[in-house]
């Protein structure tokens, strides 16, 4: 029977958290921890999913029942993506899907988007429906919108295009209104640490939306300041001016504090990194927990890692600027 295997990378937000949801630019990098999807014909009349990393085995559903409400969280992205794909490209063959993750979903490295993108690519290859990057984006972005209700799409873009990108979210559901611009850099000397707390991205996005509704002028001013930092960071990354980039990271973190999405755990790790010699440090992603980043010179890396670990962080070994979604067989 036919079998297709694909994989997509996780991501780390470098600059532009939350403001990206409101149409402002951000900078995101793909990381070399990947999520793989294998799709094969199952010869039955049901869709079957195995995701042992999520404790899910032999989950099955009839095609006509795909996407019913109250989906288990573990299957919601895959099942919704399949439903949307079949609505646009009806098929006869049913599939068995296997998911394998190289990183814990709790880290906040974009496992949901990586799985959605890898699955969209696998569907395209398995059913021989040619889809370019923009079409993959449309399918994955609509999937995440349907599941979460809110999404900027930067993690989807990182999973598809890979590398380090300057990104502006689409307006509505059409990819033609988005911006994805590669930033060519050779290396990015970042240290990544996990707080031990899983952030609820959708809830944090809504918190900032509520803050924006209550204090529109103030929050818009913060978003404008973040946008200025993003534009500076874009140039600074290309120049590989690390001390200046570190200052921009610190400034971005100060603005994120004003959005009330940092946490004691994040602040402790950031302070520990800075005290040990990091050029800059900030949270990455939605906030509330998940990961922080420290920009470090190679000579200071060990000392910074030790201090962050002492402060309760878990160092995650990842390389930035990773390849985007790809066919593995």
- 7-21, 61-75, 234-248, 288-302 — which is least confidently predicted? 61-75
How far apart CA 229 and CA 325 sit, in angstroms, is 29
**pLDDT tier at 172 (50, 70, 90 boundaries)?**
low
State the Cα angle at 24 between 18 and 28, rounded to 5°: 65
Q: Using an 8 Å Cβ cutoff, are 12 and 164 in contact?
A: no
**Apex 283 CA angle, 245 and 200, nearest 5:** 150
Q: Per residue in 318-327, pLDDT tens?
A: 999 999 999 9
Average pLDDT over residues 247-276: 98
Asked if pLDDT for residue 182 goes beyond 60, the answer is: yes
Q: Does the 3-184 domain belong in CATH 3.40.50.1970?
A: no
Take residue 297 and report the two structure tokens written for it. 């010179």
Whether the predicted pLDDT of 200 surpasses 90: no
| 21 touches 145 (CB < 8 A) | no
Summarize pLDDT for 54-85 with one digit per residue, the tens: 888 899 988 888 887 677 777 899 999 999 99
Query: What is the structure's pLDDT at 73?
Result: 76
> 13 φ, ψ to 5°?
-75, 130
Residue pair 53/37 in contact (Cβ under 8 Å)? The answer is no
Kindly report, as residue ranges, where domains of CATH 3.30.70.890 are found in the chain.
Answer: 190-316
C-alpha to C-alpha distance for 258 and 313, rounded to whole angstroms = 23
Homologous superfamily of 190-316 = GHMP kinase, C-terminal domain (3.30.70.890)
pLDDT tens per residue across span 94-150: 999 999 988 777 788 889 999 999 999 999 999 999 999 999 999 999 999 899 887
Domain with CATH 3.30.230.10 in the chain: 3-184
**Both structure tokens of 144:** 């995440």
Render pLDDT for 19-51 as a digit per residue (tens, 0 to 9). 999 999 999 999 999 999 999 999 888 999 999
- What is the spatial distance between Cα 224 and Cα 24, in angstroms, rounded to a whole number? 8
């Amino acid at each position: 029977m036919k079998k297709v295997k694909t994989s997509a990378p996780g991501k780390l937000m470098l600059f532009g958290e939350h403001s990206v949801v409101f149409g402002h630019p951000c900078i995101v990098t793909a990381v070399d921890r990947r999520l793989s999807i294998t799709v094969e014909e199952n010869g039955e009349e049901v869709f079957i999913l195995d995701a042992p990393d999520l404790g899910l085995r032999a989950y099955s559903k009839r095609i006509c029942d795909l996407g019913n409400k109250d989906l288990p969280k573990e299957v919601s992205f895959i099942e919704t993506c399949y439903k949307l794909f079949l609505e646009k490209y009806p098929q006869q063959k049913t599939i068995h899907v296997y998911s394998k993750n190289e990183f814990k979903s709790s880290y906040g490295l974009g496992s949901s988007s990586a799985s959605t993108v890898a699955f969209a690519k696998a569907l395209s290859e398995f059913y021989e429906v040619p889809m370019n990057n923009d079409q993959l984006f449309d399918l994955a972005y609509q999937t995440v919108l349907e599941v979460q209700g809110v999404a900027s799409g930067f993690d989807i873009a990182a999973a598809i295009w890979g590398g380090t990108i300057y990104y502006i979210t689409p307006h509505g559901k059409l990819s033609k209104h988005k911006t994805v611009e590669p930033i060519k850099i050779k290396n990015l000397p970042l240290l990544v640490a996990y707080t031990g707390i899983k952030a609820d991205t959708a809830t944090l996005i809504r918190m900032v939306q509520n803050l924006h509704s209550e204090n529109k002028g103030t929050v818009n001013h913060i978003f404008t300041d973040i946008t200025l930092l993003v534009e500076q960071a874009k140039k600074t990354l290309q120049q590989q001016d690390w001390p200046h980039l570190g200052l921009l990271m610190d400034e971005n973190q100060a603005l994120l504090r004003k959005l009330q999405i940092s946490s004691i755990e994040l602040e402790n790790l950031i302070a520990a990194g800075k005290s040990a010699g990091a050029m800059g440090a900030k949270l990455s992603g939605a906030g509330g927990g998940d990961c922080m980043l420290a920009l470090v010179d190679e000579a200071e890396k060990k000392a910074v890692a030790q201090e962050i670990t002492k402060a309760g962080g878990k160092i995650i070994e990842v390389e930035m600027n990773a390849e985007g979604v790809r066919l593995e067989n």
